[in-house]
Amino acid sequence: VKKSVLLLSLISFIFGESISEKTKSMRKMSGYFNMYWEDTSGKIWLEITDFDNEFLYV
């Protein structure tokens, strides 16, 4: 089981898109966390660059 999870993680890392590729057609909203609005699906994507600092969820 651990080997299959590792393999799937490795495959998604190799074939995954970068943030700039994924968000190039989205509207960027800069702030504490950069957000990207995807018009076609109505989704908001967050760009979190520093996972070591605490922040407040509201």
Per-residue pLDDT of the chain (58 residues; tens, 9 = 90+): 788 888 777 776 676 677 778 788 899 999 888 899 999 999 998 888 887 888 776 6
CA 29/CA 49 separation, integer angstroms: 15
- Residue 48 CB partners (closer than 8 Å, separation 6+): 33
Residue 26: the pLDDT is 93
- The pLDDT, as a whole number, for residue 9 is 74
pLDDT at residue 12 in the model? 67
Place of tokens 């950069």: 34
Which helix or strand (DSSP H or E) is residue 3 part of? helix 2-15
